[in-house]
Amino acid sequence: MKPLNEVISACPPSGIRRFFDIAAEMDDVISLGVGEPDFVTPWRIREAGIYALEHGYTTYTSNAGLPALRMLICSQLQERYAAEYAWDSECLITTGVSEGLDLALRVLLNPGDEVIVPEPCYVAYEPCVAFAGGVAVTVPTRWEDGFAIDVDTVAAAITPRTKAILIGSPANPTGAVQPRAALQALAELAARHDLYLISDEIYDRLTYNGVHTCLGAIPAARERTVVLGGFSKAQAMTGWRVGWICAPQPIAELCVRVHQYTMLCAPHVSQLAAVEALTSANTDVEEMVADYDRRRRVFVKGLRETGLECPEPEGAFYAFPSIRSSGLDSETFAERLLKEQGVAVVPGNVFGPSGEGHVRCSYATALPLLEQAVDRIGDFLRSL
């Protein structure tokens, strides 16, 4: 048989899923691993989806998505972050943010183009760059600095092949939120070197200590930035698969072109549910965010009381404690914690070399389970 695609064949399976496969075969496991809300989609959103099904909204929509949804997305970006996009030429509805990332990279990159990726970062970033024909060039961030992106470090990684910089804020796995000043500096760096910026903002509504900055709202970034967002996290709509891209018209048009040949459109029913989410479910989102905040404070306090150093996450729903005091590397720590105490976390090294010495813990889990998990982690550390 002739060989299969070399890039895809060389891509390892997700380091996150390996631990869930082990956990699935065990009893009494508390999972702090999955990056998914433990809330069900709010009722009013589900009801809109049911209504859409009952009334036969089961056809294709336009390739770019429902006008009503694109109008709402652009309107709310302007109201919340002063980011201005034309709904009819600069906004596209995608099948989740994952498709949005894939589209953006395919449109921006030619074979061999380099994309700078600050890490620790979401596990899909590097593979998606490779699948689009690019080369991911990772640069480190430090937990001592709150995993802030250092512009000088990024600048040192720029070569004649560099085409774009890919960031996520609020970040998975660290929960770090990049301050506006750092994003401004990054935008100015990109402008000096004529680079594109891709900003994954799926956790934009999940911030606790300040206001999220949309990278597309920074004037120096506007003409060169692709902003990615969606409904999976804040609205607890992971299975509905609705995301969006906002970008300058030349980029958005090409994203639609790839999208129309590969995906056609996001699900009609899901788009109508997303319209309801933006028009009527803001109170539900605020209540879920407040609940995450309570869990965040309790969980981080508990981890610190076990002796683990844990930076306070400012966004998303992940804690990223240092486990260096245990004397174990992150993979060994995660494996032993799962097998000996039945707590599933994700080793930090799967998110990049800067993640070594940490584990990712999702606090999108019921508070009583988080408290039990802290007790078990404490027992595990004492056993060492």
pLDDT value at position 277? Answer: 98
Q: Mutual orientation of helices 249-262 and 96-108 as an angle, nearest 10°?
A: 120
pLDDT value at position 311? Answer: 87
Predicted confidence band of residue 233 (pLDDT cuts 50, 70, 90): very high
Q: Which domains, from first to last, does the chain contain?
A: 6-41+283-383 (3.90.1150.10), 45-280 (3.40.640.10)
14-54 confidence digits (pLDDT tens): 767 676 777 667 778 899 988 889 999 999 999 999 999 99
Grouping H, G, I as helix, E, B as strand and the rest as coil, residue 254 is helix
329-359 confidence digits (pLDDT tens): 999 999 999 999 999 999 999 999 999 999 9
pLDDT for 227 beyond 70: yes
Sign of CA dihedral 70, 71, 73, 78: positive
pLDDT value at position 23? Answer: 66
Is the distance from CB of 98 to CB of 333 less than 8 angstroms?
A: no
360-383 confidence digits (pLDDT tens): 999 999 999 999 999 999 999 999
171-195 confidence digits (pLDDT tens): 999 999 999 999 999 999 999 999 9
Mean pLDDT for the chain?
A: 95
Query: What SS3 string covers 124-187?
Result: CHHHHHHHCCCEEEEEECCHHHCCCCCHHHHHHCCCCCEEEEEEECCCCCCCCCCCHHHHHHHH
Grouping H, G, I as helix, E, B as strand and the rest as coil, residue 65 is coil
Tally of CB atoms within 10 A around 225:
26
Predicted confidence band of residue 211 (pLDDT cuts 50, 70, 90): confident
DSSP secondary structure of 198-232: EEE-TTTT-BSSS----GGGSTTTGGGEEEEEEST
pLDDT for 275 beyond 80: yes
pLDDT value at position 12? Answer: 82
What are the backbone dihedrals phi and psi of residue 32, each rounded to the nearest 5 degrees, phi first?
-115, 30
pLDDT value at position 210? Answer: 84
Sign of CA dihedral 199, 204, 209, 210: positive
pLDDT for 248 beyond 90: yes
Instruction: Calculate mean pLDDT across residues 254-274.
Output: 97
pLDDT value at position 27? Answer: 75
Percent residues over pLDDT 70 in the chain:
98
250-262 confidence digits (pLDDT tens): 999 999 999 999 9
Predicted confidence band of residue 75 (pLDDT cuts 50, 70, 90): very high
Percent residues over pLDDT 90 in the chain:
90
pLDDT value at position 19? Answer: 67
Cα separation, 162 vs 138, in Å, equals 12
Instruction: Calculate mean pLDDT across residues 129-143.
Output: 96
pLDDT value at position 49? Answer: 98
pLDDT value at position 94? Answer: 98
Predicted confidence band of residue 291 (pLDDT cuts 50, 70, 90): very high
| Sole residue written with tokens 């937990």 | 143
Is the distance from CB of 268 to CB of 241 less than 8 angstroms?
A: no
pLDDT value at position 358? Answer: 97
